[in-house]
Amino acid sequence: DIQMTQSPSTLSASVGDRVTITCRASQSISSRLAWYQQKPGKAPKILIYKASSLESGVPSRFSGSGSGTEFTLTISSLQPDDFATYYCHQHYSYPLTFGGGTKVEIK
Amino acid sequence: EVQLVESGGGLVQPGGSLRLSCAASGFTFSSYWMSWVRQAPGKGLEWVANIKPDGSVKKYVEFVEGRFTSSRDNAKNSLSLQMNSLRDEDTAVYFCARYDSGSQYPQHWGRGVLVTVSS
């Protein structure tokens, strides 16, 4: 099974900060990585697919990069609506797996 | 607009069974891979099962294999998850999700339904 390790698990930041979340795969997954945002009591929302493609309707302050085993999600200027938990997800091979999540909190 | 609405959750005793449903609308259901993903209280996301558009291919995570069965009725735009031999650790919110048109990743998600396994 491919393990997805996210870091940090919690991140405290202020509005306007640049935020970077890292996701590492235990083996190469090419660019088969997606990023999701989830708020409490809500369904996950797709942000990035194929490691770096921005989903339609998602603000351009979100960006993704990486391939192989190391990936990053960057929020260029954190907004109040961005305080949430973020998950990476590999869809390269079964069983599909998610990272443990990164909670972005208000500093 | 894509809509996915899960139902069928509730409280069940260990060893019991439950059948979840997901009603789909706003798209051609028979053209898309579908997925079940769960989230235990306070925990992260966990993939459970995928099913091909025609239902001919089903994939499961190891710890539900043999206990859970995913199925779909394309005529009724409905996805189901039959869960048997339920365990305490199956307690979670279960989401159904629709894949993107390229069958790469879960793109649209339902709100989820809570399954509680407890005596």
Q: Report residue B72's pLDDT band, with 50, 70 and 90 as the boundaries.
A: very high
Q: Looking at residues A29-58, what average pLDDT do you find?
A: 97
pLDDT tens across B4-54, in order? 999 999 999 999 999 999 999 999 999 999 999 999 999 999 999 999 999
Q: Residues of B numbered 10-69 whose beta carbons fall under 8 angstroms of chain A's beta carbons: which are they?
A: 37, 44-47, 50, 59, 61-62
* C-alpha dihedral sign at B46, B51, B52, B57: positive
Q: Which residues pair with residue B81 across a beta bridge?
A: B20, B70
State phi, psi for A8 to the nearest 5 degrees. Answer: -75, 175
With left for phi above 0 and alpha for psi between -120 and 50, is residue B2 left, alpha or beta?
beta
Residue B103: the pLDDT is 82
Contact A90, A37 (CB under 8 A): no
CA angle A69, A30, B103 (to 5 degrees): 130
- pLDDT over 90 (residue A46): yes
Residue B34: the pLDDT is 98
- pLDDT over 90 (residue A84): yes
Q: Does A99 touch chain B (CB under 8 A)?
A: yes
How far apart are the CA of A46 and the nearest CA of chain B, in angstroms? 6
* C-alpha dihedral sign at A3, A7, A10, A16: negative
Q: Report residue A35's pLDDT band, with 50, 70 and 90 as the boundaries.
A: very high
Inter-chain residue contact A95 with B44, CB threshold 8 Å: no
Inter-chain residue contact A95 with B47, CB threshold 8 Å: yes
Integer Cα distance of B84 and A14 in angstroms: 46
Q: Residues of A numbered 36-95 whose beta carbons fall under 8 angstroms of chain B's beta carbons: which are they?
A: 36, 38, 42-46, 49-50, 55, 87, 89, 91, 94-95
Residue B101: the pLDDT is 87
Integer Cα distance of B90 and B67 in angstroms: 11
- pLDDT over 90 (residue B105): yes
